[in-house]
Structure 1
């Protein structure tokens, strides 16, 4: 090996896997508290309607949700088993990245601990979400890219391409770090890895694996672009304003010196300089498109992996205290530790905590109003919800009720028959007159009163006499992509 192609130390297998095991144990112990997240309720339904694509996502996460719930049980704990394993694997990959950057045993273990106590890793590891598996895929892609740059062995393009292809079956965001890394290679090198037939082979592998969903999107007029455009338009300004603060907070403020040290360390390594530059390039892209701040966080974990070796020069007491405070605050704000009645304390920082509370009660309230509809009218009556979380909750906790929604892929799965021309019970987060004009004589008959101030607290239950026109005519007007 030349100086620019360094070898790596031995991998600290036992302590790194011990850290990952602790993370898996903690997540498992807490996975049954609170309840399903609104996205998880959606994934459960999507998993029962497997397809090569959905309007808002590729098929991998719904598939995993179905497998996990069928193998381990249709409970929050059973549903989250695969997410827990993915989170533990992410911790191991971060340690492997530290090894690639030349970190010895203690540096690798510190990298694993930093990942394990970071808020973002714990948060996405607790839930079933596209971000959970996206994070693991990004870290693997970065690992293979670093191996490629360190060794100059073009065959790593195949592993990178395979992982990218699988990631594209989960979320299209994977093109962002790959694009940032390629641009960084063009700017600072080493450009030699781009002049290889292995690169074309890796692209071919990625394209082949991702092709089924790409074909599905093409056949359905690229609905994910519509969804992405709506999210950017709706949240873009807020995302840009909060981008820098959340880069500092979502992993942990204590870890900021670690990833700054990692950036400086990589910048001094000619073969790894592109890895350092990829992060600010990705930040520019995310800011430009108004993407969510967490889109750039996986590359910060790469910088943390690189920065742990320099951090070993800190006083041990400082490291222990800092990591302990990080673990406590990350767990408090991302895991279901507090009593459900106290979650309002953390919702301003992490609203996803509140989105796991109150769904069975919502279903009970809706069922109670439904039962007030005269029995002779119920065979023509319908329940229409404003979002997929409400629809998913009713499908899970009140499956006998005729529940429909025009939100995301629910709009594609089924709609009421025109013969269902009787009463319509609307579940609305906020009463919307323009929306209610699609139905005849609507009046509020109930309100959802949650124990926490989440999105569904105060949701209106509105009973209308009938749809204003046949459902087949009305349905396209009720469709929502975001």
Structure 2
């Protein structure tokens, strides 16, 4: 069977999908992720997603509703535990592996290329991280990769109806995070610049755009009605981390998948650029990189296109290895890459030995110590006289702290916490009748609107791990200086 150029319009034949070997890769991936899913604990963002899911809405100040609603659904079915919540992340990761293997098939890759792509995807450091813990990136990775797959099928078959699948998927992506607009812009620029432009003509593209807008309409309306807070949050993140993101962009392109895979995705770029009908993908990756650098966005936004480039480079990489009998050194190199990915991305080490891992993956440290954190808060709460606790308030600095207290506090006799951070501010201030002591959790400015604040405790995770909450102060204040309803606008913050 002779195949046309990868991604070229009108090529209709593809190799058979390697269901068995790819299915085996997915089975091993799911087994490992499931076995390790509960070894540490909730990540701070996961605690926030669970809390947000308990306040269902078409939007939140910092994100659309999909991930919080997904968190609510899976915890209702599988239990309100890290393992139960992470079923969603595991399934999203497994689906991403299948989609990447199908993309390799679209590029004309046979069994070997499909299995290599599946294994490379499952074992890439970034994929391991977002398949272990639930985040908006877990969904984004699948959605962006699926958009790429559907574009490849559109170009291969010349069937413009695939724009409907692309539009629906982009709409789902907009319900999760608006970053997918960067992908849409990059692909559009690339197709206009190097073609094939014919796929941009006709009613099906318009229908696909309309479908995307229809799916995303509820969250867009919510954001408009609330003054577009998500744009405010995004601007603040760019202003705060933008320079660091730009400086680390190129190194992160090397390490987010694995340094071992760099030759594979470079082979994909070279292969596609040699074929006029396929140049859109490497150019889209370049345009996306420019967009990310210009906006000061996170370097991992480009990972889905890197996975597609790996899928394109799998076949020529295997051919190169066979021709040069390079398996002798490729095996050990791959072994080192796999070991690093698993060590950095999964809870393999005991928490007390996590310091080197946290230097590479800060998210690992944010899964350690939350029950002990709430124990310390509970000890501080018990300093409040019993007859004053009915009008006392726990006020947390950030959503991770508030989410942990909300999750673990009831078993320790704590009331529901309040916070001005992100959407916690929208879930309301305490009643104005709460005029008693205020337990402050977190680092606050000296001019907080509470009287007679005294430090009473400091967080210690018990394993000496320098994560974001290690050393966090807890202070007890006599009372608020004014009614909570009047203080609340000044207590809202996004960073």
Which of 468, 474, 478 is the matching residue for 1:455? 468
Q: Secondary structure at the match of 2:97?
A: helix
Q: Can you give the 5+ residue segments of structure 1 that lack an aligned partner in the other structure?
A: none
Q: In the TM superposition, what is the alpha-carbon distance from 1:269 to its structure 2 partner?
A: 2.0
Q: In the TM superposition, what is the alpha-carbon distance from 1:21 to its structure 2 partner?
A: 1.1
Which deviates more, 5-14 or 96-105? 5-14
Query: Is 1:356 aligned with 2:367?
Result: yes
CA distance in 2 between counterparts of 1:86 and 1:296 reads 18
Query: Is 1:389 aligned with 2:389?
Result: no
Query: Is 1:370 aligned with 2:381?
Result: yes
Q: In the TM superposition, what is the alpha-carbon distance from 1:272 to its structure 2 partner?
A: 1.6
Q: What aligned pairs does 1:164-203 form with structure 2 within 5 A after superposition? A: 164-203=170-209
Query: Is 1:67 aligned with 2:81?
Result: no
Query: Is 1:88 aligned with 2:94?
Result: yes
Q: What aligned pairs does 1:247-262 form with structure 2 within 5 A after superposition? A: 247-262=253-268
Does the aligned pair in 2 maintain the 1:97–1:305 contact within 8 Å? Answer: yes
Query: Is 1:464 aligned with 2:477?
Result: yes
Query: Is 1:441 aligned with 2:452?
Result: yes
Which of 325, 330, 355 is the matching residue for 1:319? 330
Equivalent in the alignment of 2:354: 343
Q: Secondary structure at the match of 1:34?
A: coil
Superposed CA offset, 1:332-372 (max 9, x none)? 01100000111112111100000000100011100110011
CA distance in 2 between counterparts of 1:306 and 1:280 reads 16
Which of 86, 94, 119 is the matching residue for 1:113? 119
Pairwise CA RMSD of aligned residues? 1.1
CA distance in 1 between counterparts of 2:328 and 2:19 reads 25
CA distance in 1 between counterparts of 2:121 and 2:328 reads 19
CA distance in 1 between counterparts of 2:330 and 2:480 reads 63
Query: Is 1:125 aligned with 2:131?
Result: yes
Q: Can you give the 5+ residue segments of structure 2 that lack an aligned partner in the other structure?
A: none
Equivalent in the alignment of 1:415: 429
Equivalent in the alignment of 1:330: 341
CA distance in 2 between counterparts of 1:2 and 1:22 reads 33
Task: Mark the CA change 1:413 to 1:294 in structure 2 (over 3 Å): closer, same or farther.
Answer: same
Q: In the TM superposition, what is the alpha-carbon distance from 1:379 to its structure 2 partner?
A: 1.0
CA distance in 2 between counterparts of 1:431 and 1:350 reads 26
Query: Is 1:432 aligned with 2:438?
Result: no
CA distance in 2 between counterparts of 1:38 and 1:2 reads 48
Compute the TM-score of the two structures, normalised by the length of structure 1: 0.98
Q: In the TM superposition, what is the alpha-carbon distance from 1:316 to its structure 2 partner?
A: 2.4
Compute the TM-score of the two structures, normalised by the length of structure 2: 0.95
Q: What aligned pairs does 1:264-279 form with structure 2 within 5 A after superposition? A: 264-279=270-285
Does the aligned pair in 2 maintain the 1:117–1:323 contact within 8 Å? Answer: no
CA distance in 1 between counterparts of 2:90 and 2:202 reads 37
Alignment size in residue pairs: 479
Superposed CA offset, 1:72-116 (max 9, x none)? 111100111121011011011111111111111111111111111
CA distance in 2 between counterparts of 1:243 and 1:168 reads 24
Equivalent in the alignment of 2:415: 401
Q: In the TM superposition, what is the alpha-carbon distance from 1:323 to its structure 2 partner?
A: 2.2
Which deviates more, 311-320 or 192-201? 311-320
